Amino acid sequence: MAIAKNIKDSMENSSFIRKMFELGAQLKKQHGEQNVCDFTLGNPDLEPPAKFQETLKDIVSEKIPLKHGYMANAGFPETRRSVAAYVSKEQGVPTAEKSIIMTCGAGGGLNVVLKTILNPGDTIVVNVPYFVEYNFYIRNHGGEMVLAATRDDFDLDIDAIEKAIDKRTAGVLINSPNNPTGKVYPEQTIRDLGRMLQRKSAETGRAIYLISDEPYRKIVYDGLVVPPLFANYANSIVVNSYSKDLSIPGERLGYIAVHPAAGDFDNLVDGMILCNRILGFVNAPALMQRVVAKIQGVSVDAELYRRRRDLLCSNLARLGYDFTPPGGTFYLFPRAPGGNDVEFVKVLQEKLVLVVPGTGFGAPGYFRIVFCVSEETIKRSFAGFEYAIKKLKS
Ligand SMILES: Cc1ncc(COP(=O)(O)O)c(C=O)c1O
């Protein structure tokens, strides 16, 4: 066999999202792009903010020595300082340059964190439903994913997480605002989680890291604020990205922020810097680091996504769909009418409306709609959603 068995297995079980992407491409070719309502991929369609475009133009035309050169593996000092100042405000804990490592997106950042903390056979607790790549990322570094159920409204179930923890647990990975549910965990939940992890770390004799994957932190609605992690647990690591809030996922920029009071802080950060290099990322993209150093806090207008959320939610509710409205992100995760998500998705495809079955996120019985598509596409899809619920509920 030419390729590794585990990769062959992974390819065979490859994510539903990829499969839907391929099916979408095929249907668009067959029926014309404008006739397919594709709600499968989280590829933001909004233009990056004007401030991003202006700053990028300025930097491109400026004369800077080694503008496109290598830099220290953790990133440019001025970028790390600028991110640290922003994180200090956001997390409610003074955070210095040393805590920040610039990465190739959140995906790169998570791989760096996991490579740094995992010994073979260690586990990471993940909450269901979860971002499909987590299992691959954890296995990349010899770890094992252990699942914890969430509550009916997709809030974390602290008891379920506690039950999933044992001596092998290196960390708990949370994602808020959540892909695929749009749930924003309330401050009380984060506080309770921090207290429980403190107690379990003492019990197991091992510091359990709380890793928070937060690429949607700025895409929230109705005045919601994503509560800080640092203010609630010292052994915490935030992984963030500019993919969604600046609408630049192809540019691959994110960062890791390590709590300044995390145990073994120097080794943890130095280990991550080494891993950023030896995973082959070497460093995060230079040009993008130069841009974000000057525009911390800038984001796309979440109001545009809010309008789409409301359009979708009001119409799906009218048609009889059952869901918890998302507090953030551009995802909606309703129950599949009839209960079988894979069958529901196939029925919807008959009307050229594409969504991803919840099974792909570890949650059969649900399906995910991505609303980074135009309001016209959303409006065109309602006839298909009406057809599918009528067919499966009759
Ligand atoms: C929850 C979550 N984590 C991480 C990522 C990876 O993002 P990035 O483009 O920053 O690597 C995504 C992308 O969709 C995501 O939804």
- The CB of 245 under 6 Å from ligand 1? The reply is no
In this model, does residue 12 exceed pLDDT 80?
no
- What's the pLDDT score for residue 23? 82
Q: What is the pLDDT of residue 19?
A: 74
**pLDDT exceeds 70 at position 119:** yes
Average pLDDT over residues 340-354: 95
CB of 105 within 6 A of ligand 1: the answer is: yes
Q: What is the pLDDT of residues 18-64, one digit of tens each?
A: 777 788 888 989 999 889 999 998 899 999 999 999 999 999 999 99
Indicate whether 168 pLDDT > 80.
yes
- pLDDT attached to residue 177: 98
What is the DSSP secondary structure assignment for residue 262, as one 8-state letter? -
Average pLDDT of the chain to the nearest whole number: 95
CA of 232: how far to CAs of 97, 154, 169, 238, 266, in Å?
21, 20, 20, 12, 21
* Token pair recorded at residue 333: 């995760």
Q: Could you report the per-residue pLDDT of 54-92, keeping only the tens digit for each?
A: 999 999 999 999 999 999 999 999 999 999 999 999 999
Mean pLDDT of all residues in 369-393: 96
User: Residue 158: pLDDT above 90?
Assistant: yes
- CA 268, CA 143: separation in Å to the nearest integer? 18
Residue 214 has pLDDT above 90, yes or no: yes
Mean pLDDT, to the nearest integer, of 224-239? Answer: 96
> Would you say residue 15 has pLDDT above 80?
no
Q: Is 149 helix (H, G, I), strand (E, B) or coil?
A: coil
Over residues 130-147, the mean pLDDT reads 96
On the question of pLDDT at 371 being above 90, the answer is: yes
pLDDT at 16: 66
- Summarize pLDDT for 273-293 with one digit per residue, the tens: 999 999 999 999 999 999 999
Q: Residue 294's CB: how many other CB atoms inside 10 A?
A: 17
Quickly list DSSP for 274-337.
HHHHHTT--S--HHHHHHHTT-TT----HHHHHHHHHHHHHHHHHHT---PPPSBSSEE-PBPT
CATH classification code of 5-48+301-393: 3.90.1150.10
CATH tag, 66-292: 3.40.640.10
Which atom of ligand 1 is found nearest the CA of 110? 4
CA of 162 to the centre of ligand 1 (A): 26
As annotated, the residues of the chain forming the CATH 3.40.640.10 domain(s) are 66-292
Q: Is 52 in the pocket of ligand 1 (CB under 6 A)?
A: no
Residue 17 pLDDT > 80 = no
**Token pair belonging to 306:** 């809010």
pTM above 0.85, yes or no: yes
Average pLDDT for 236-249: 98
Confidence class of residue 385 from pLDDT cuts 50, 70 and 90? very high
- Dist. CA 215 → ligand 1 center (Å): 6
Listed in sequence order, the residues at least 6 apart from 242 whose beta carbon sits closer than 8 Å to its beta carbon are 248, 251, 253, 254, 288, 292
SS3 of residue 256 by DSSP = strand
Percent of the chain residues past pLDDT 90, beyond the cut: 92
Compute the distance from residue 228 Cα to the ligand 1 centre, in Å.
19
Query: Which atom of ligand 1 sits closest to the CA of residue 249?
Result: 9
| pLDDT of 126 over the 80 cut | yes
Where in the chain are all domains bearing CATH 3.90.1150.10?
Answer: 5-48+301-393
